[in-house]
Structure 1
Amino acid sequence: MKKLFLFLIIVLFSFSCKKSEALGLDKVMKEDEVNVPPPPKVNQVKLLKPVIINSEESIAVEKIEQKIIKTGDIRFESNDLEETYSHLIIAVKKHHAIIQNDTEGKDYSSVFRRLVVRVPSKNFDLFLADISKGVTYFDNKDISSQDVTEEYIDIDARLKAKKVLEDRYLELLKKATKVSEMLEIEAQLSAIREEIEAKEGQLRYMQSQISMSTMTIEFYKTVANEGGATISYGSKIWNAFKSGFNEISNFFITLLSIWPFLIILALIAHFIRKRLKKKTV
């Protein structure tokens, strides 16, 4: 009986310990939940205004301008060359263009005039539209655009690099104390300067082609062929007779020019004929 009573006491004691531990754990968890700060409300979140960086503080990004070279070549027929030329001159003055070359000529069946015009690139399309007015059709119309942006940027970058190198050599020249060093640096500077001038020349020429487009304009008028008139039958016979007489004259003139060979051939033929007669006798 004592043993049963002792067993019950031990069971109750262990049960009470477990319950107290559970109550303690729940209390700790509730305290932790109380101590955890609540999540911030949406209206408590502060939005930062975007900061605008001044252009002086930011890295300057240069906008690359496209470099285009435009050229045109057109050819058309005109009923009046002078009127067409006057019309072209008006268009040239209107669009601030210049005539670089003016050529006139005549071929087998037409007379023509060819103009090479330099027109500002921004006015190229308007100039082409103006000079095309009144033209029924073009014998030839070739309009092209060449993008040289990459080539232009490459040359410009090389030019800047050469100028930086030139400045460095100039600083070295100021610090040089020996004559040999000065001469060597000056030789390098001379070579660099030549390259800089060559690059600058390429850029100037390219910029000229970009800013001023080239338009070649040729217009012509068909004329009657002088040898195309109708020839009568009697005239044809007379011309044939004269042609035959001329051929005979040329033949005799040719014979006269080779008379020594003819005499030699005649003597040889006479000698052979004489020998043959002797054999037959």
Structure 2
Amino acid sequence: MKLKLIIALLIFAVLSCKKAEAEASQDSAITMVKLPAKKMISNDESISESPNIEDKVIEQKIIKNGNLRFETDNLETTYDQIKIAVKKGKAFIQNDSEGKDYGTIYRRITVRIPNQNFDSFIKDISTGVTYFDNKEISSEDVTEQYIDIDARLKAKKKLENRYLELLAKATKMSEMLAIEAQLSAIREEIEAKEGQLRYMQNKISLSTITVEFYKTIAEEKGVTISYGAKVWNSFKSGFYTISSFFLGLLEVWPFIILAVALFYFIRKRFKKKNI
């Protein structure tokens, strides 16, 4: 009887173990099924986000410069034409100078113009110009440099925030001073990076165009001067010469008086001997 009871208990135990193993295997199967599903969702999320990152187009940062030089028949007319083009292109004149060179008179203007109006401005001021002595158009892509500086600036600002958190938690004076020294150095770097970005952004948003136009003139040689002008110049030259002579005499008047007195004395003695 006891033997039958022990055998029954053993059979029950074996059946219970098998049932537990079946449930465990079922749970593991469910888990294995759920995990890939969960993994697929996260992958879908990353895939759904990754196109947004890839689709984000990075705007190119281009610095444009222009340098033009040409001859004109009328400096004022050409200047008026440039002023109209400046107003049309929403630009402004940064520098304006004029002067005289060998056989020419010229005017040099530096214009800052929005990047999007660069090409139209070049076209407007080129109207009527048959020949350019010099025409240089350059474009420099600084996108990579701009992104690099911007990324470094953001990293420095994050580092600054971490040091500010450490400063708020610091209790010792030595720790505070050390953190303040680090913050000071970081802030200097941040200001330098911000200055570089501002300078670069200014160059990107406003292109620089230098326009020099000139007019050929006759050289003022002696052949081109009229006869009346020559007479007048000679008269003035003679007057200046006489004036210089009398001024020179005034400077040596004691010697002149002494020479006259000596001449009179010698002449008087010579006459006495002859008598």
Partner deviation per Cα, 1:40-81 (whole Å, 9 max, x = no partner)? xxxxxxxxxxxxx789x7255142111110000000001000
Map of 1:205 onto structure 2: 199
Map of 1:187 onto structure 2: 181
What is the distance in 2 between the residues matched to 1:229 and 1:199?
63
What is the distance in 2 between the residues matched to 1:187 and 1:230?
74
What is the distance in 1 between the residues matched to 2:101 and 2:69?
15
The reply on whether 1:224 has 2:215 as its aligned counterpart is no
What is the distance in 2 between the residues matched to 1:229 and 1:197?
64
What is the distance in 2 between the residues matched to 1:173 and 1:156?
26
Listed as ranges, the matches of 1:52-67 within 5 Å are: 58-59=49-50, 60-61=52-53, 62-67=56-61
What is the distance in 2 between the residues matched to 1:191 and 1:228?
68
What is the distance in 1 between the residues matched to 2:207 and 2:224?
48
Q: Which amino acid in the other structure matches residue 99 of structure 1? A: I
Pick closer, same or farther for the CA change 1:54–1:76 going to 2, 3 Å: farther
Partner deviation per Cα, 1:229-271 (whole Å, 9 max, x = no partner)? 379xxxxxxxxxxxxxxxxxxxxxxxxxxxxxxxxxxxxxxxx
Q: Which amino acid in the other structure matches residue 173 of structure 2? A: V
What is the distance in 2 between the residues matched to 1:163 and 1:147?
26
Q: Which amino acid in the other structure matches residue 186 of structure 1? A: E
Listed as ranges, the matches of 1:145-164 within 5 Å are: 145-164=139-158
The reply on whether 1:83 has 2:56 as its aligned counterpart is no
Specify which structure has the higher proportion of helix. 2
Structure 2 unaligned residues grouped into runs of 5+: 1-43, 226-275
What is the distance in 2 between the residues matched to 1:80 and 1:143?
25
What stretches of structure 1 move > 4 A for 4+ residues in a row?
Answer: none
Map of 1:122 onto structure 2: 116
Please provide the CA RMSD for this pair: 2.3
Q: Which amino acid in the other structure matches residue 181 of structure 1? A: E
Query: In percent, how many aligned pairs have the same letter?
Result: 70
Q: Among residues 95, 104, 127, which one is paired with 1:110 in the alignment?
A: 104
Pick closer, same or farther for the CA change 1:228–1:159 going to 2, 3 Å: farther
Q: What is the number of residues matched between the two proteins?
A: 182
The reply on whether 1:171 has 2:175 as its aligned counterpart is no
Map of 2:136 onto structure 1: 142
What is the distance in 2 between the residues matched to 1:224 and 1:161?
64
Pick closer, same or farther for the CA change 1:146–1:221 going to 2, 3 Å: same
Map of 2:251 onto structure 1: none
Taking structure 2 as the reference length, the TM-score comes to 0.63
Q: Which amino acid in the other structure matches residue 110 of structure 2? A: V
Q: CA deviation at 1:190?
A: 0.4
Q: CA deviation at 1:223?
A: 0.3
Q: Which amino acid in the other structure matches residue 165 of structure 2? A: E
What is the distance in 2 between the residues matched to 1:230 and 1:128?
39
What is the distance in 1 between the residues matched to 2:96 and 2:137?
20
Indicate the structure (1 or 2) with the bigger Cα radius of gyration.
1
What is the distance in 1 between the residues matched to 2:74 and 2:222?
22
Secondary structure of residue in 2 paired with 1:229: helix
Structure 1 unaligned residues grouped into runs of 5+: 1-52, 232-281
Partner deviation per Cα, 1:103-146 (whole Å, 9 max, x = no partner)? 01011201000000001000000000000000010000000000
Q: Which amino acid in the other structure matches residue 113 of structure 1? A: R
